[in-house]
Amino acid sequence: MTAATPLSLAAEASSLLSSLGVAPERLSGGTLAARSPITGETLALLPEHTAEQATSLIADAHTAFRAWRSVPAPQRGELIRLFGEDLRAAKADLGRLVSIEAGKILSEGLGEVQEMIDICDFAVGLSRQLYGLTIATERGEHRMMETWHPLGVTGIISAFNFPVAVWAWNAALALVCGNSIVWKPSEKTPLTALATEALFQRSLDRFIAAGGKAPANLSAVLIGGRALGEALVDNPLVPLVSATGSTVMGRAVGPRVAQRFGRSILELGGNNAAIICPTADLDLTLRGVAFAAMGTAGQRCTTLRRLFVHDSVYDTLVPRLIKAYGSVSIGSPLQPSTLIGPLIDQAAFDAMQSSLAAAKAAGGVIHGGDRTEVAEAPNGYYVRPALVEMPAQTGPVEHETFAPILYVMKYSDFEQVLELHNAVPQGLSSSIFTNDLREAELFLSARGSDCGIANVNIGPSGAEIGGAFGGEKETGGGRESGSDSWKAYMRRATNTINYGRSLPLAQGVKFDIE
């Protein structure tokens, strides 16, 4: 590391949090240690909410919802417009805080805040487009239509790897749809949540000062562990829970929400693949694969984890990839030249090493994967990304390991590789690199990728906010962010209006009384 990394990340984090408006009492006197994966040092000891406090905050949010639902949607959009402005002003500070707390390189920390800004822009426009259909009716002098109404308290459970952007995907849409929000961030990244909450309160104060009507307790953040997530999941005043995390987490959340007939948006694991075809532009492919597989130290749900390379180009592409893996810059994410920052903690490192051992036992040839020492950060878990040449899709290849491991396999038959591509439990993101129109269209067809995201000539990692984000199978089936995902945050009513003097019944039913 160089002077680009401060002697005390705790001091810098404290300064950033102060500039973003976080009250000092939120940052001391507690037991939850907020740590930076850059050095392993503790940034703050935060007070935690109890389950009883969570229940009280949810009740307050429900009261706020009952008032907020009556505020016209374009006025709700004005609040989000102001929030977008405040995010723009605070982008540098919040983005750097994301890098410090989550270990992302500087451009990714800033990019995450930009994603928040983008979804605010989307939501502002959406606030004037929450429209339903007018439906043809079989009865004369009748009109049938559908209307959409606010749903209630939206519970948001987010993961460490995108500590603020995924919250924004949900929060911006939920708020313009007329809902209140309660957020349980990962206990590994609580500081960015407190900073975001303070920025939102700043926007809310501006909204009210300008004459906007907004209730107290419109938004709340729960700082703590699993018990607080369970408080959200089990509370009948929370009709919608949007949860991002592991498939194991989703198996616990989904049934519990369903048991009380609540709704859930689940964004779970991804074991994403790319198919490299004979006609692929290999220079483009190299860049696309490198970012998708190594970016964010492999800690994205859309990270590329399986690579199927046609045997005619395998010996050309794979050595180039191995060279890139061996030369990519690893170190403090606060240095502009760094491309690979640290894993989030020791548990992530141990899981990576366990998967590599299993791959080796299954006949894999491993390139990289070892821990990289950074002198000024002996407690940080920095690793060389691993490229593993596998004889077949077996063992650890079929499971998601949240680390920079890319399993590479040869193929010769396109129909067969499509079957292999889809033969894993997860179904989030996918891609194909080809200049063959038939291969590209088949990959995007009903016979092709079974994932929620399917790309051509770009990697599976990363997504724009305009498209709905989510996947199939064990990825959970949820959709967040753009397109028509706003409907998940509202309830639909079908309305029939009789403007005549007769009372015809549907399906020709007769029920005449004297």
- Kindly tell me the burial class for residue 78, based on how many C-beta atoms sit within 10 Å of its own C-beta (0-12, 13-18, 19 or more): buried
Task: Put residue 483 in one of left, alpha, beta given phi > 0 → left and psi -120 to 50 → alpha.
Answer: left
CA distances from 68 to 92, 155, 174, 196, 412 (A): 31, 16, 11, 20, 58
Helix (H, G, I), strand (E, B) or coil at 150: strand
Residues 6+ apart with CB under 8 A from 229: 157, 184, 243, 253
- What is the 3 state secondary structure string of 366-411? EECCCECCCCCCCCCECECCEEEECCCCCHHHHCCCCCCEEEEEEE
Looking at 108, 267, 400, 474, which residue is catalytic? Answer: 267
Nearest to 48 by CA among 192, 216, 213, 226: 226
CA distances from 281 to 131, 277, 288, 317, 440 (A): 43, 9, 11, 10, 14
User: How many Cβ atoms are within 10 Å of 493's Cβ, its own excluded?
Assistant: 11
Task: Put residue 297 in one of left, alpha, beta given phi > 0 → left and psi -120 to 50 → alpha.
Answer: left
> Which is it for strands 219-221 and 181-184: parallel, antiparallel or unpaired?
parallel
Q: Is 12 assigned a catalytic role?
A: no
How far apart (Å, rounded) are the C-alpha atoms in residues 503 and 501?
7
Task: Put residue 29 in one of left, alpha, beta given phi > 0 → left and psi -120 to 50 → alpha.
Answer: left
Residue with tokens 């500039």: 19
Nearest to 266 by CA among 484, 488, 426, 478: 478
Provide the 8-state DSSP code for 241.
E
Both structure tokens of 435: 């200049």
Question: Euclidean distance between the first and final Cα of the chain, in Å?
Answer: 91
Inter-residue contact 36 to 191 (CB < 8 Å):
no
Backbone angles phi, psi at 327, to 5 degrees: -115, -10
CA distances from 430 to 226, 231, 348, 370, 472 (A): 31, 35, 24, 27, 12
Inter-residue contact 333 to 106 (CB < 8 Å):
yes
The residues carrying an active-site annotation are 267
